Structure 1
Amino acid sequence: MLKLRLKKCGRKGQESYRIVAMPSQTKRDGRATEELGFYNPHTNEANINVVRVKARLSQGAQPTATVANLLKKASIAI
C-alpha cells in the first residue's frame, strides 16, 4: 500500500520534513517513490504540490494522520 508520509531531513535540533509517497513497508528515511512537498515545524511553513498529491490520493494512496492534518490546513480534500 502506498502511503503519504513525512521523511525526516535536516540536522539535529533543526529538523524539517519532506512529504513523500512511499510503500508502507519502507523505513521512514528510506527511498521515496515521489517527493510531494516539505514541512518545517519550526516556522510552521508547508509547501505542497497540490496537483501531485491529488493524483496520488486518486490512485489510492493513504495519508498518515500528520500528513492528513497538513493537507486539511492546505484545504486539500482527502
Structure 2
Amino acid sequence: MARSAKPDTNTPALPATYEEALAELEQLVGRMESGALPLDQLSTSYARGAQLLQFCRTRLEAVEQQVKLLEDGQLKRWDEA
C-alpha cells in the first residue's frame, strides 16, 4: 500500500488577498535578485514564489471571468467564478 505524502507544515499559508500576495512576491524577488540568499534559501524562496505566482494568477483569472460575465449582463461574485 502506498503511503500518502504528509502536508508540509513548514509552508506558510497563502495571503488573504491578491495585494498581499503580490507584495510578498515582490519582496521575495528583490531578495533573490540581490544575490544575498544562501542556496538552500534560494530554493525555498523559488518554491514560495511559484506558489504566490499561482495564487495571483488564479485571482486574476477569477476577476477576468467576472468582467466577462458583467460584459454579458450577468452579475456573479468573483469567488464563485
TM (norm. structure 1) is 0.29
Q: TM-score, normalised by structure 2?
A: 0.28
Greater share of residues in helix: 2
